[in-house]
Amino acid sequence: MKLFIVTRELTVNVDYTVDPYIARLVNQLDAIQIHSPGNLNPVIMVDDRYSLPTDSSQSTSINAFKFSDFFFQSSDTLNSISIDTNRIYKSISKVDQQGSYIVIDCGLYHISHIEDLVDKLASTCFQFPVLTSNHLVFVVPLAIQSQIARRINAVFNNLPATNYKSSSNKVKMLLISATLKKVHLLLPTVSSVIVKAGVLFRLLLSRLVRVRG
């Protein structure tokens, strides 16, 4: 399974669930050469599609969805957004061809709603491994592309999302700890130098007293 996070064009009102935009997008993504990282699912961020080649001769199975296709349909949630896991499974399980590209246009919804979809989609794929034979494409705003990519990497590859603040604090504590260890190792040497300096000072002082006496 390859996981793509593509930025949507905010200046142009493009519906990525309608041809020919979706076909051109998938053809460009399919042309990207990716080295398999072992058991991990590669996560690819794409913010410039114009420099990517397009190979229209390759026929690729495409299944496109809008973010609203996964909403929980209930009278209690008409004024709120709730992602329905059952609707995710029913929609994606209809993709019967392996190696298909499943494109989800996340629109301009809040990042918390998109992360909720990512979490539930990953859970559904793990429960039904046959779904992992396909490729997922998330179309998101540029402003949240990196955050969504980290979330996708965390849930689909079972890796912890990086917290830069906590990571920075841990690095600082590690440096402080290493410095303290160096000081601790140098203490015997430092203390011996101080002792020797004290002895020399006392000898010098005693000689000065004798000379004056």
CB-CB contact of 95 with 133 (8 Å): no
C-alpha dihedral, 168 to 142 to 24 to 101, nearest 10°: 50
Amino acid 127: pLDDT? 85
Q: What is the pLDDT of residue 179?
A: 56
Q: Which residues of the chain have pLDDT under 50?
A: 10-11, 75, 77-78, 164, 166-167
The whole-number pLDDT of residue 167 equals: 47
Q: What is the pLDDT of residue 116?
A: 94
Q: Confirm if 102 and 132 have CB atoms less than 8 A apart.
A: no
- For residue 108, what are the CA distances in angstroms to 16, 95, 131? 13, 25, 26
The pair phi, psi for residue 44, each rounded to 5°, is: -120, 125
Q: Convert the pLDDT of each residue in 10-24 to its tens digit.
A: 445 666 666 677 888
- pLDDT for position 9: 67
Give the predicted TM-score (pTM) of the model.
0.69
Question: What pLDDT score does 99 carry?
Answer: 84
The pLDDT score that the predictor gives to residue 11 is 46
Per-residue HEC secondary structure of 144-198 comes to: HHHHHHHHHHHHHCCCCCCCHHHHHHHHHHHHHHHHHHHHHHHHHHHHHHHHHHH
